[in-house]
Structure 1
């Protein structure tokens, strides 16, 4: 029965199959055209704009990134070294001017506190008198002096530590 139906509609079946083959052939041609277009783009991408292939460009980029990371590491180490050194530098300064003696006309005497980040440093005091000028230097460790400080020196020290 199936064979009789096939024999009866054989020409129609051939036409339908032929139409499907033509449609498939058209689809295949369109696929080839699109594949060629994509392949051209791929080759252009792999070649790169300078003529190098993309693999060489990636290796060069990786090398540049590694060099940049090394440079940043060196800069960070230098920064940390400088930051540590700065902690020992004078960072806090205060000056108090005053008149040490009643017979001297102006505020020519002074006390200067020079401290680092940890409040270590010195207090310099210059006492100006009519006949002489005397200068004292007193070491400061952690904001405290081993020597007695005058009121003006204490004021300069307190002012510098508050900065």
Structure 2
């Protein structure tokens, strides 16, 4: 009875099995292509690591990452130190030569403003006269001098402060 039932549906069963075989062959081809692609990626990842497992590579990579982070922190510390020192270095300079006295020729007198980022520094002035020459300095804090400034010194101070 079972055999007669199978014989009655023999052609549809064979067609269904044929379709199933075709589907399985297609799935096998897709699996082989995916495995080949994964093998290429695996070989690329494992390149240069003869005899090492993925776990060993991950541990090695983690150690290298920790070293890089440590180095980055050291570099950040050095950067902050350099940045701090740079802020306190002379960054703004202005020079003005002028004739301090009418009876002395040429622009032999001068005023120089030397300021850091915070507008702290000094103004150096040299006054040249016929019989003598004098040089003096006036400290500057936050762009202001506690000493009276001549017009030339005010000019170089203003010019230096406006420089970026």
Q: TM-score, normalised by structure 1?
A: 0.75
The Cα of 1:10 is off from its aligned counterpart by 5.2
Partner in structure 1 of residue 101 of structure 2: 101
Partner in structure 2 of residue 91 of structure 1: 91
Separation of aligned partners in 1, 2:144 and 2:3: 118
Compare 65-74 and 113-122 and name the one that shifted more: 65-74
The Cα of 1:128 is off from its aligned counterpart by 0.8
- Rg larger for: 1
Partner in structure 2 of residue 129 of structure 1: 129
| 1:82/1:21 CA distance change after superposition, 3 Å | same
Helix, strand or coil: the match of 2:9? helix
Map Cα deviations across residues 57-112 of structure 1 (whole Å, 9 max, x no partner): 55555555544444444333322322221111111111121111222111100111
Are 1:47 and 1:54, in contact at CA under 8 Å, matched by a contact in 2?
no
Partner in structure 2 of residue 147 of structure 1: 147
Alignment root-mean-square deviation, CA: 3.0
Query: In structure 2, which of residues 23, 32, 47 is the aligned counterpart of residue 50 of structure 1?
Result: 47
Equivalenced residue count is 159
Separation of aligned partners in 2, 1:156 and 1:51: 64
Structure 2 gaps of 5+ residues are: none
Separation of aligned partners in 2, 1:94 and 1:101: 22
Separation of aligned partners in 2, 1:51 and 1:108: 72
Q: TM-score, normalised by structure 2?
A: 0.75
Are 1:128 and 1:134, in contact at CA under 8 Å, matched by a contact in 2?
yes
